[in-house]
Amino acid sequence: MGFLSHRVERSEIKPGDHIYTYRAVFTYSHHGIFVGGSKVVHFTPRQNANSSSDTSSDFYDSMSSIPSSCETFPDCGFRQPDSGVVLSCLDCFLKKGSIYSFEYGVPPTVFIAKVRGGTCTTAASDPSETVIHRAMYLLQNGFGNYDIFQNNCEDFAMYCKTGLLIMDRLGVGRSGQASSVIGAPLAAILSTPLKLLMPSPVGVATVTAGMYCMSRYATDIGVRSDVIKVAVEDLATNLGWAGPLEEIPEDNESSGALIAR
C-alpha cells in the first residue's frame, strides 16, 4: 500500500481491518470490516419490500447488494430481518474488484494531500478485538436506517473502528465520500468570486482545490469537536433507534461459528 494507492493483497489484510472496494467504474466505494475467515461485515440499504425508508438509495442498493446465494459459504448473506448489516464472504463483497485498506491515524498533511475522500482519517483505530466485537454485535442488532449522506457503509465501518459518533445528526456523517460530494461543489461556489480577482485559471483552480481539501479536513472525525465515544451496546439508546430488532447479547461462540471457516 503506497501513498497514492491503498490497494492491498488478500494476504495483507487482518481481522479487524477496514477494507473497501470500488463500484461502478470507481464512481464510489463500498466499505466493510474484515472479521477473518474470509468474511466481511458491511452495511447496505435494507431489503424490505414493505419499507420505504431507504428508497433514496435504490441505485446504490442495486450496485451493492450481495448475491442471493453463495456456493462457497452457506452463511454468506446472513442478516437479521429488516436489517442492513450483512455478513458476506470476501468474494461476494468484492464482486471481482480489488481490495483497498482504509488508513487510520494519518497526519493532517497526508489527509489533506489525499484528493479523494473515503480513504483515510486522522482518527485512531481501536484494537482489532474491539472492532470485531462492534461489527458482530451490529450484525445481530442492526445499525439503524441507511442514509447515503449521514449513515452509510463507510460510516458503519468507521464507527466499528473508532466507536465515535457525531452528536449533531443533522449534519454530514463520518463518511469521507459524503464530505467530498458536498465539499467539491461548495468549494467551487465559494471560489467563484475569485475569478474577478485572479485572471489566471490556474490560480482559481489552486484556491478551489485548497478550499475543497480544507472542507474535507474540517469534517474529519479526528478533528471535529462534536464527536463522542459510544459503546456499541448503548448505540441504539444514544441515537434513538426504535426498530423491530431485539438487542441480543453477543455470544462469542456463536459469532465465532459464523466467521470460522
| Residues designated catalytic | 30, 42, 153
Q: Please, are residues 42 and 93 in contact by the beta-carbon 8 Å criterion?
A: yes
Tell the residue number behind the cell numbers 460510516, with chain if given: 155
User: What's the order of all strands across the beta sheet hosting 7-8?
Assistant: 7-8, 99-101, 18-23, 28-36, 39-43, 85-89
Helix/strand/coil (H/E/C) assignment for every residue in the chain? CCCCCCEECHHHCCCCCEEEEEECCCCEEEEEEEEECCEEEEECCCCCCCCCCCHHHHHHHHHHCCCCCCCCCCCCCECCCCCCEEEEEHHHHHCCCCEEECECCCCHHHHHHCCCCCCECCCCCCCHHHHHHHHHHHHHHCCCCCECCCECHHHHHHHHHHCEEECCCCCCCCCHHHHHHHHHHHHHHHHHHHHHCCCCHHHHHHHHHHHHHHHHHHCCCCCCCCEEECCHHHHHHHHCCCCCCCCCCCCHHHHHHHHCC
The set of cell numbers assigned to 198 is: 485572479
Question: How do 227-229 and 7-8 pair as beta strands?
Answer: unpaired
